Chains A and B, each alone.
Chain A
Amino acid sequence: MRSVDHCTQSDVNGSSIRPRGANANGTMPRMLAKALKEATGLLRAPQRVPPLVQRLVSDKIRITFEQKHLYSYSTSKRCSVETLDALLRWIVQAQRPDGGIAAYYSLLSGYSESYPEVTGYIVPTLYEFARLCGSHEAVDVAEQATLWLLSLQMPSGAFPAGLHGSEPHPSIFNTGQILQGLVRAYVETKRPEIMEAALAAGDWLVGEQQPDGSWSGPGAYQHAPHTYYSMVAWALAELSQCANEQKYAVAAERNLDWVLSHFRTSGWVDGINLRAHPNYLHFIAYVLQGALECGILLRRSDAIDAVGRPALILLRKFETNKHLPGAFEADFKNGHRFTCLTGNAQMSCVWLRLFEMTQGLRYLNAALKMNEMLKGMIPSRGAQGILGGVSGSCPVWGRYQPFRNISWGCKFFADALMLEQRLTESFVTSKLKALPCAS
């Protein structure tokens, strides 16, 4: 999720509690109401106090004693399979009665309403998990989620922004993210109505694209073009392959070219373009993930090379500091002190895919260590919503989605662990056996 959604960004983005750009157009009272609702959540459900206090104490201890020197990395005794199972359990339990997946579980106020965007792009994760572990439950959840998504599609082919229940407003980004889920659901089920919905969404996206390849206007967040919409291009590239229809690939490539034109030689990517928000790692990683996956699908080696530069800069920062800052200023300067766990998990995915593409072992090394670090941060005990949850920030009071376990965090970390499993297995079985001895 990008958590910033057109009309309900303040609903979903935890940073809404203290926005820099809030003004008199009604945003501030709405945000205050939300903050009050969150705060009074504890009064309505006092049983949430002990886990909240426990989390506050454990995060304080963690940031006080974490080791930052070069000689070590965070390790966890939990195996990847067990963690993956806990993550998927969290996602399954976050499915609402309507079939959608909740955006988050707030440590203060409990589960949110269903969130179409995340519900869409969590579908591929569920099918991947089912393929890996033979889980029928994951397939059931994915099918219910897909049915719910189909019921939300607008006549134009677009999907709505925001949490379920808010005033429907077509959103380019959410439509792209949901399109990913639809494409995967069609591949798995071959149901024609899913392909029809995917094609309608793809056509709407192509129609909304600007001549320069970007997406802006009313369907874009803050009406501005954003480079992290490379995720939309990725979805279109997937649709093009699945439907064997070139026009979607052309649109994806136009956006990819536009996104790549925003990569500075320093490695920084311009055009994240979020007014009143810092450049969260989550969005930086979105740009990289979208451009990389789109580049792989479209066989654009220049995209893979371009993503390699910022990915290596972030790799160095991670290796040196043992975590990635939650947000940056331009040129990766002035990293914020909190960690955005979702962004960390996304970077693990980016590094793993770069390893797969380039055979660069440093990427694999960093991703393995990142996954170790993240595994240590997933609660192995607790009630529903806590066990297996990925918090927005570490410490939990950090600026990105404070006091919340977020569904897209679980999604990206599950993706990272499944990628790790696939790549390490193939590395052991094939790669090294083909190599001669060192000397």
Chain B
Amino acid sequence: MRIVILSSSLYSETASAAALRIAELGYIPVGAVALRTLDHRTLLRKVGQWGTRGVTKYGRNQLFPSRKNRFPVVNNPYLEPLLKRGDRVFRNLREVAALHAFPTVVCSDQNASSSTAQLKAWSPDLILFTGGNILRKPVLDVPRLGVLNVHLASLPEIRGMSSPEWSLLQNVPVGITIHYMDTGIDTGPILQKYELPDAARSESLSDLRNRLIAFGIEKVGEVVVALDRGVVSAIPQPHDHKDNQFFVIHEFLKARAVERLVTPHQSARRFE
């Protein structure tokens, strides 16, 4: 099976872990397309995600790493086992590409005609989306089977942004859904859904998100194998759930979502 990875950045741990995972299963990617890291859109997106202070801190730590401020070897500790090969930790796609000898292409828009042309040239059976732009139809039509996405919530109940937080607040089991992408937001046919064991026993929302990402990469490998063997089929999402799109969560509700987590501290207290 010919697989291409789409990534939000060459330095994406998620994309690197996904590439290593499917390579481990015998499916070496035929290529990867990543968004330019210092593109103004990416910068704006990061400002949105982390805030101006977060981006400044990240930039400062990258430029002047100190012992105190140095980032951990792997930002998402749950990805470490997936990124480790012997003593070496693969932290970016270039390193993974060099290991498995597949090409990487950097672009500023995954929907651009040049990106689409590159994807067509690779004639993939499957594209594995790990981050980047909202994909348009020309890109979605390139692979023979479709574009796979790991959504960090149960579909069709929770579509859109801040999905782990909304799952907690809406009392929907926290987990992941592996689905084909279509032109809607998380509306494509579903391949598999998995519930994260002990989801509420996370230290924080970012801890929960990290766990879900690692869990998703683990499971997407299983789905790729199942697709290759033809033992899984996609089920279209019901139309009555088309209205379940959620958006970035406000801090007030985020705080309420945190209250739904059973932190280890709370567990200990309950045990006492």
Interface of A toward B, CB cutoff 8 Å = 67, 69-73, 75, 312, 316, 319, 361-362, 364-366, 368-369, 372, 424, 427-428, 432, 435-439
Total A-B contacts with CB atoms under 8 angstroms apart: 73
How many residues does chain B have at the interface if contact means C-beta atoms less than 8 Å apart? 34
For residue A320, which residue of chain B has the nearest CB? Answer: B247
Question: Please, how many angstroms separate the alpha-carbon atoms of A432 and B252 in the complex?
Answer: 13
B252 touching A368 by the CB < 8 A rule? yes
CA distance A102 to B47 in the complex (A): 41
A368 and B250 contact, CB distance less than 8 A: yes
Q: Is the interface of A mostly helix, strand, loop or mixed?
A: helix
Q: Quick check: is B135 within 8 A (CB to CB) of the other chain?
A: no
**New contact pairs (8) apart from A72-B248, A73-B250, A439-B199, CB-CB < 8 Å:** A69-B44, A71-B248, A72-B47, A319-B248, A362-B247, A368-B250, A438-B168, A438-B174
- What are 5 A-B pairs at a CB distance below 8 A? A69-B41, A71-B45, A73-B248, A368-B253, A437-B261
Instruction: Tell me whether B173 and A369 are in contact (CB under 8 A).
Output: no
Cα distance A428–B252 when bound, in Å?
10
Is residue B49 contacting chain A, with contact meaning CB distance below 8 A? Answer: yes
Inter-chain CA distance A75–B173, complex, in Å, is 30
B39 beta carbon closer than 8 Å to chain A: no
Residue with the greatest number of chain A CB neighbours at <10 A, chosen from B49, B171, B256: B256
State whether A71 touches B48 (Cβ < 8 A).
yes
| Residues in B neighbouring A427, C-beta threshold 8 A | 256
Residue from the list A70, A75, A372 in contact with B161, Cβ < 8 A: A70
* Chain A: CB-nearest residue to B246: A362
Residues of A within 8 A of B45 (CB): 69, 71
User: How far, in angstroms, from A364 to B249 measured CA to CA in the complex?
Assistant: 10
Of A362, A364, A366, A438, the most chain B CB neighbours within 10 A belong to: A438
B253 — which chain A residues lie within 8 A by C-beta? 361, 364-365, 368
The yes or no answer to B227 lying at the interface (CB within 8 A) is: no
Interface core residue of A69, A71, A364, A369 (most chain B CB under 10 Å): A71
Which A residues are CB-close (under 8 A) to B249? 365
Q: A69-B44, A71-B161, A72-B48 are in contact. Are A439 and B245 (CB under 8 A)?
A: no
Question: Is B272 in contact with chain A by the CB < 8 A criterion?
Answer: no
Which chain B residues (115-164) contact chain A, with CB distance < 8 Å? 161
Closest 6 CB pairs of A and B: A72-B48, A71-B48, A319-B247, A368-B250, A438-B168, A438-B200
Report A-chain residues with C-beta under 8 Å of the C-beta of B14: none
Residues of B close to A435: CB separation below 8 A: 171, 260
**Complex interface: chain A residues within 8 A of B195 (CB):** 439
CB under 8 Å from chain A, chain B span 47-102: 47-49
Complex partner residue of A365 from B44, B167, B247, CB under 8 angstroms: B247
Contact B247 A438 (CB under 8 A): no
